[in-house]
Amino acid sequence: MKQSSPDTCTETQSVVVERDMPYPPDKVWRILTQPYLIEEWLIRNDFKAVVGHRFNLDFEWGSVDCEVRAIEPQRTLSYTWNSCELESIVTWTLTPIDTGIRLRMEQAGFPAGQPRYFHGARAGWPRFFERIAIVLAKTD
């Protein structure tokens, strides 16, 4: 399920993608925090699950500069996502459910005057979720 919502106070938009997955929290957490697994569903990176750690994501269209802002193991991960004129925050939330985990990603901070970035994220994140599901299925 994907949603987007404008934030009228700051005139920014968010992209939200949520999916229920039949896996335990520790397995989903590894997919989000282990660099070699992040590379399988997203891109090459130098991520470390340490608050304040600066890392880069190198896409074919350019580089994204990131910094880890918050970590609550197996529950929440948040980092900045800055590229070109976009400064946003990506927050992952893992919520236990009867059948596994509900994985939620919100990328917040899309200025209303930059629809290209917003529409790109709205199209891209569901594809990344599909790749996360594939990596989860083949990871022990």
Look at residue 113 and tell me whether its pLDDT is greater than 90. Answer: no
Walk me through the domains of the chain, giving residue ranges and CATH numbers. 2-138 (3.30.530.20)
Whole-structure pTM value? 0.89
For the chain, what is the mean pLDDT?
Answer: 91
Three-class DSSP labels, 32-88: HHCHHHHHHHCCCECCCCCCCCEEEEEECCEEEEEEEEEEECCCEEEEEEEECCEEE
Six-digit token string for 136: 């989860």
In single-letter form, the type of residue at position 120 comes to G
Percentage of the chain exceeding pLDDT 70:
93
